[in-house]
Structure 1
Amino acid sequence: MAEHSGNSTPDIERQSAATKPASTTTVGRRRRRRVLRDRRGRGLRTPLLPAELPAARTRAQQFDHAVLEAVADLEERWPTELASIEFAVDEVPSLPTGDVVASSDVVLDGGVPLTRFSPPGVDARGRATKARVVVYRRPLEVRAADSGDLGDLVAEVLGEQLTAVLGEPDIEPPTGS
């Protein structure tokens, strides 16, 4: 038996991590095991959240999801009216040099457009374009208190825009489900 020098643990068991084998190779019949770890404890061992979780989505992705949910609900209720309308998301509206005039094409809040309707037409290449409703992300995010409020606000603004464009007074934003 090995003699102890005041410690209760034999010298063989007090082997540090630095003296352990560093790789998994086969030399003759001996095998060495590679130690994969963060020796100083400064790095991440695993990702904090899997990419599939909603908390890993960016604000732009969360906003796109809120718009898709609102549009899906509206298309469920009015499939024929909304079949010819595209929906798009843009970061911020491009403001003209003068004041923005309130019309049925724009939903305003304090002079800032929240959505804009573009009628069908022809693009620069001569191709026909569908009618389009553009929802502006940043103005709506600034006005929302939290992500739940953002979804309600997006649905309300889209409902207002479609009421003005389609002339349907019975379009109401979807209620929270």
Structure 2
Amino acid sequence: MDRLPARARRDRHGRGLRGRLVPPTVPLSRSRAEQFDDLVLDAVEDLERRWERELAGVEFAVEDVPWVDHTSPDDVVLDADVLEDGSVPLARVLPAHREGGQEHPARIVVYRRPLEIRAADRDDLADLVRDVVVDQVAVLLGRDPEEIDPAG
């Protein structure tokens, strides 16, 4: 009997992967990462309405966790452009710069997992994401967070 190569077999019982548990139109079908992306987009869209000209060309990104050099926890010194809680980065502003003859736009990076861990529930996470995005936009524009989002 011919055996399939290990990578060609789907699973131990040969049944393959199961189907979706919920229809794709139900919010539950979206992953936590996709839901988090939506929270960041909502916060950015609200700010872009008021600060459209100033935020033109600014990129917003979401990463699961910050990259950390694990040489020694006592030696970790975060740059001034990093919003942190204790020594855990929550977000970072990367100003526009030119490197190797190529122009790189300003970028605000929000770290998903540290924010999710600090939130009690989805509403708390939405508030926290908005606060972090507002704070980082304020840093980028050199303004007070209250000026960026007076309602917040």
TM bracket (short chain):
0.7 to 0.9
Partner of residue 63, structure 1: 36
Structure-to-structure mapping, 1:26-105, within 5 angstroms = 48-96=21-69, 97=71, 98-101=75-78, 103=80, 105=81
Which of 105, 114, 118 does residue 90 from structure 2 map onto? 114
Q: Which runs of 5+ in 2 are unaligned?
A: 1-18
| Deviations 1:45-64 (CA, angstroms, capped at 9, x unpaired) | x9653201111110000000
Q: Report the CA distance shift for 1:51/1:122 in structure 2 as closer, same or farther (over 3 A).
A: same
Structure 1: stretches of 5+ with no match in the other structure: 1-45
Over the aligned positions, Cα root-mean-square deviation in angstroms equals: 2.0
Distance 1:47 1:160 in 2: 38
Which residue does 1:142 correspond to in 2?
117
Does the Cα contact within 8 Å between 1:158 and 1:173 map onto a contact in 2? no
Q: TM-score, normalised by structure 1?
A: 0.66
- Contact kept, 8 Å, 1:70 with 1:174, in 2: the verdict is no
Normalized per residue, which structure has more helix? 2
Whether the 8 Å CA contact 1:156–1:172 is kept in 2: the answer is no
Relative to the length of structure 2, the TM-score reads 0.76
Contact residue 86 and residue 130 of structure 1 kept, 8 A = yes
Moved over 3 A (4+): none
Aligned 8 A contact 2:93 2:139 in 1: no
Q: Which one has more relative contact order, counting CA pairs under 8 Å at least 6 apart?
A: 2
